[in-house]
Amino acid sequence: MAGKNEYVLEAIGIKKHFGGVYALDNVDLKLKYNEILGLVGDNGAGKSTLIKIISGALKKDEGEIYFEGKKVNINNPKDAHDLGIETVYQDLSLVDLQNPSVNIFLGREVCYGGVLKYFLNNRWMLTETRGLMDKLNVDLGNLIKPIKEYSGGQRQAVAISKAVYWGSKVVILDEPTAALGVRESRKALELIKLLKEESHMSIIIISHNMQHMLSVVDRVMVLRRGKLITVQDVHDVTATDIIKCITGAEEVIERV
């Protein structure tokens, strides 16, 4: 199929219903290699349902998923992680009382070898974290503090950096700037651009902030009431165009 060459991730004909209500009705999502795709829609449009299916938190009722051109089954979050799909939810899923390096290696801790194999190698993990933050141009200052003492933007950077460190090929970001101020939002958006440019990752962003989203994405995908309305190159539409599609005030028929 053509997607083998162009797309890293394809979710084709996805359907999901809860009782008699279709949360997703024959939706296609196609994410290109080294692309940032914006996923937008009003509350109840199906964005979260689609992302949860791709990340393994929900099972689809119908449809197929392809990863790097091969048909795959994603039945749980581990299946998604094993493929290289990482989701950074709005709550970030960080442990407040632990420092950044513990959060980066949470569930994948590194221990000493030999007779010390049951002891965590905190020094090595801290060194790795410092190197990662330097690579991504993230300034956390003191890496010893518990994560709750860092700013919202810094916590967001830790969550995104974790996905980078573990070699994710696709990163899904759920409202990455929702709780951030102007300065921290700018830094978060710069980090997202860096992921594409330097780490060559493919990224899906869910956002209600049109200005933020349009500043980083390559294409925009609009859902409404569980249906795919349009997919547009970011250079071909304005924020007003997208809002009209979201609300139903205007239909953009042609897709790219």
Q: Model confidence over 107-161: pLDDT tens digits?
A: 887 787 765 666 778 889 999 999 999 988 888 988 999 999 999 999 999 988 8
Task: Say which residues have a Cβ less than 8 Å from residue 201's Cβ, sequence separation at least 6.
Answer: 34, 164, 168, 169, 170, 171, 195
Q: Model confidence over 66-107: pLDDT tens digits?
A: 999 999 999 999 999 999 999 998 888 899 999 999 999 988
Q: How far is CA 185 from CA 32, 179, 188, 202, in A?
A: 25, 9, 5, 20
What is the secondary structure of 177-219 as a DSSP string?
TTT--HHHHHHHHHHHHHHHHHH--EEEEE-S-HHHHHTT-SE
The model's pTM: 0.88
Mean pLDDT of all residues in 176-200: 87
Mean pLDDT of all residues in 153-181: 88
Q: Which of 245, 213, 255 is nearest to 39 (CA)?
A: 213
Contact 191, 139 (CB under 8 A): no
Q: Model confidence over 8-66: pLDDT tens digits?
A: 999 999 999 998 889 999 999 999 999 999 999 998 899 999 999 999 999 999 999 99
**DSSP E strands, 68-192:** 70-72, 85-88, 170-174
How far apart CA 55 and CA 76 sit, in angstroms, is: 7
What is the secondary structure of 76-90 as a DSSP string?
SHHHHHHHTEEEE-T
Q: Model confidence over 211-255: pLDDT tens digits?
A: 999 999 999 999 999 999 999 999 999 999 999 999 987 655 455
In order of their start, the domains of the chain are: 3-95+169-247 (3.40.50.300)
Mean pLDDT of all residues in 169-185: 89
Contact 67, 11 (CB under 8 A): no
pLDDT of the residue at 3:
40
How far apart CA 24 and CA 167 sit, in angstroms, is: 30
pLDDT of the residue at 118:
62
Q: Which of 8, 194, 154, 155 is nearest to 85 (CA)?
A: 8
Contact 133, 165 (CB under 8 A): no
Q: Which of 17, 39, 18 is nearest to 28 (CA)?
A: 39
pLDDT of the residue at 4:
53
140: its two tokens? 């956390």
